Structures are given as C-alpha cells and as structure tokens.
Amino acid sequence: MSGLPLGTVDAAFDVDILLYTNTPNPKLIKKYSSHQEASKIFGIFYGNRARNPQNKRYIPYIMMQEAMKDIKMQIFQDRNLILQKINEPIQNNPDKTESLSDNNDNTNNQNNLNTNSLLRNSEAIREQWKLKGGKLYSTTVSGGISYLSYNNDGFSMKGNGFNLGLNRGFYKFKAPQYTTGRSTWSSFSLFESIEFSQMKSTIEMAEIPDITSEYQTLTLALQLGYVKGIGRYLTETKWKGLVFGIHYKPTMVATISDSESDPYFNYTSFSIDISSASFNSAMNKIAPKPGYKFSLFVLPPINDKPLFINASLGITLYN
C-alpha cells in the first residue's frame, strides 16, 4: 500500500472527513474533526472495504476549511491522493524545531548586524567630534540685580535695582577630542546684547538732605571675547562641563526715564561669564542642550560716571 504513513496529519491543519452512504439519497453518517481518528478511518476503510469492490459501501469526501470559506472538494477515489491533500500543508510548512532554529539564526545574524552598525556609527560620531568646527549660535535670556556707586569730593551716590536682558551671538566652536579623562576646549565668541534696568539711587551731599530718585536705563553692547570649556565625556558622544568666558564689552547706555540725559558710550567695560554646558554630537551636527548661565558685568567709573556692577542668571539656548 503506497502513500504517506498514517498518523502524520499535523493538528495545526483543519480538515473534516465526511462519510456518506453510496445511495441515491446520500446520508451523513459521521463528521470527523480529529485528524488521528480520520487517519484510522482511512486505514480501516481502505484496508477492509475499499480494496474489495464487492464490499464497497462508503465513499469518503474531504472538506478543506480555509480562512472564512467552506469549500467542498471533489471526490477522491485514490487513497494516496487523499493523504497527499491532507499532508500537503504540512509539507509546505517547515518542521517546528527547524523553524525555531532558523528564526534563532536570523535573530543572531540581525543582532550581529545591529552591533556592527552601532560600532560603525560610534566611530563615525567620534571622528565627527574631532573634525567638527564652525559657528555655534546661542541665545540667552536673563534676569539679575544691579549695583552702582559714585564718590567725588563730598558727593556720593549709591543705588540698586533689577534688569532683564537678551543676548545673541555665536562661538567659533571646535568640539573637544574624545578622551576618558578631563578635556578642554576654547573658542572665540562674538555677541550683541540689549538690556533694560530699573534703578533706585540715593544721593548724599554735605549739609543737605539725601535725595532719592528712580530711573530706567537701556544698555546696548557688543561683546567680543574668549571662552574656555572644562569638563569630561560622559559617553563617547556627550560632553558636559563648565564654560568660562571673559569679554571686552563696549557699551552704549541711555537713561530713558530722563529726557534731559544724553546717552553715553563706555569703551572700557568688560564681562565675566560662567555657564554650564552639555553637548551631544550627532552624525553631521553638534546639538547642545540648553544650559544655565551666570554673568557678571562690570562698568568701571569714567570721569563723572559711576561704577556699575550687574550679576545675572539666565538660560542659554543653542541652535
């Protein structure tokens, strides 16, 4: 007896065996859903009856269920053809163990590819850090407090107040070389700024009562300087540290609350800045995160102008 051995039907394949009587009015005898049971029926039926034409009373039908369809198949007279149809889906599907092994191999290969890709990207990012240079633009919004003082031949003035400022410019930036220890970088910088301040001052003179006044000033400045970053790499692509800067800051000051006061230019002013910085390197750009910035601005006394000191704290956005 040829054909595939009995009992090879995979339970994952749905097949119903319907037995009908070979009469003018066929009658359903039994519907078999168990594949093992169906295989036994085939063996018993064909072994005891199908090979004996005199005793053939039943004709098997097979129904294949696919998705939502219920398709009746043609009558098969040959046992091998029936078993072939039953086992065909199994032959088309690989063995479960082999399938799992293949999946594991594919997963391992994919993981190896991903690892190699990450290594290549990491090396490219590091090289990008070494070679990247150019302008790094930043904008700082800040707020702070101010102090002024003036003394001259029995005349003195002291005051304090607050200020709001906007600072915009760029660094001539070169990323630090990757190292596991401390690393530094330096940069040329050029900025412009505008600042509004509200001051309250007290004038003291001999033999007359103190005079108290309030006024508002607007300051425009050009800031040219040098900055130094000191920090370390947290990862191959992330640098974090402090940035120290000193800038020459020629400044135009106007008292906007007093129409009789003329603006004046101070060419000796300078500023000292300390800010936090955290830089992340991407494949083709350097993307710094926002950081805090502390700024100290000193305007020395010139002729009859007072000493002016401002300390402010702001947040710096890079683009």
pLDDT (tens digit per residue) in 113-149: 555 554 455 445 445 544 555 677 888 899 999 898 9
* DSSP assignments along the chain, one per residue: --SSPTT---TTS-EEEEEEESSSS--EEEEE--HHHHHHHHHHHIIIIIT-GGG--EEEEEEEEETTEEEEPPP---HHHHHHHHHHHHHHSPPHHHHHHHHHHHHHHHHHHHHHHHHHHHHHHHHHHHH-EEEEEEEEEEEEEEEEEEEETTEEEEEEEEEEEEEEEEEEEEPPPP-SSEEEEEEEEEEEEEEEEEEEEEEEETTS--EEEEEEEEEEEEEEEEEEEEEEESSSSEEEEEEEEEEE--EEEEETT-TTSPPEEESS-EEEEEEEEEEEE-SS-EEEPPEEEEEEEEE---TTPPEEEEEEEEEEEE-
Residues 26, 81, single domain; the answer is yes
Q: Is residue 104 part of a domain?
A: no
Residues 54 and 195 in one domain: no
Give the domain CATH number at 207. 2.40.160
Q: How far apart are CA 127 and CA 315, in angstroms?
A: 30
pLDDT score of 166 more than 90? yes
SS3 for 154-176 is CEEEEEEEEEEEEEEEEEEEECC
**Structural domain contains residue 108:** no
The pair of three-digit structure tokens given for residue 170, joined into one six-digit string: 């760029």
Most trustworthy range by pLDDT among 193-197, 255-259, 290-294: 193-197
Out of 48, 71, 92, a domain closes at: 92
Question: Above 50 in pLDDT, residue 51?
Answer: no
Q: Decide if 120 is inside a domain.
A: no
- The residue among 247 and 293 whose pLDDT is bigger is 247
Q: Is residue 140 included in any domain, yes or no?
A: yes
Q: Which residue has the higher pLDDT, 317 or 289?
A: 317
pLDDT of 87 reads: 58
Phi, psi of 266 (to 5 degrees): -115, 115
Is residue 114 in some structural domain?
no
Which tokens belong to 17? Answer: 């065996």
Least confident of 119-128, 160-169, 220-229, 282-291: 119-128
Burial (0-12, 13-18, 19+ Cβ within 10 Å), 278? middle
Residues 61-119: tens digit of each pLDDT? 333 343 334 434 444 444 555 556 555 554 555 554 455 455 555 555 555 555 555 44
**Does residue 65 or residue 302 have the better pLDDT?**
302
Is residue 163 situated within a structural domain?
yes
Please tell me the least confidently modeled range out of 135-149, 160-174, 257-271: 257-271
**Rounded to an integer, what distance in angstroms lies between the CA atom of residue 30 and that of residue 82?**
18
pLDDT at 289: 66
In a domain, 287, yes or no: yes
Model confidence at 161: pLDDT above 60: yes
Stronger pLDDT, 191 or 91, i.e. the higher one: 191
Residue 17 above 80 pLDDT?
A: no
> 26-44 pLDDT, tens per residue?
444 444 444 444 444 444 3
Statement: residue 13 has pLDDT above 60: no
CA 90 to CA 74: how far, in whole Å?
Answer: 21
Confidence bin at 261 (pLDDT 50/70/90):
confident
First CA to last CA distance, the chain? 81
User: Is 146 in the same domain as 277?
Assistant: yes
Residue 237: pLDDT band (50, 70, 90) is: confident
Q: Which residue has the higher pLDDT, 75 or 254?
A: 254
Mean pLDDT, residues 213-228: 90
87 and 226 inside one domain? no
Which residues form the domain of 218? 126-318
Q: Are residues 70 and 159 in the same domain?
A: no
Evaluate if residue 57 carries a pLDDT over 70: no
Query: What does the alpha-carbon distance between residue 264 and residue 252 come to, in Å, rounded to a whole number?
Result: 6
Evaluate whether 169 touches 137 at the Cβ level (below 8 Å): yes
The answer, yes or no, to whether residue 303 has pLDDT greater than 70, is yes
Regarding whether 80 and 178 lie in a shared domain, the answer is no
- Above pLDDT 70, what percent of the chain? 53
| Average pLDDT, rounded, for the chain | 67
Per the structure, the count of domains in the chain is 2
> 230 and 301: one domain?
yes
Are 64 and 142 in the same domain? no
Same domain? 310 vs 244:
yes
Residues 58 and 185 in one domain: no
Per-residue pLDDT at 6: 37
In this structure, are 208 and 279 located in the same domain?
yes
Q: Are 80 and 163 members of one domain? A: no
Sequence-ordered list of residues with C-beta below 8 angstroms from that of 42, at least 6 positions apart, any chain: 6, 17, 60, 79, 82, 83
> Is 221 inside a domain boundary?
yes
Token pair listed for 274: 């300390």
CA-to-CA distance for 139 and 137, rounded, in angstroms?
A: 7
- pLDDT at residue 224, as a whole number: 93
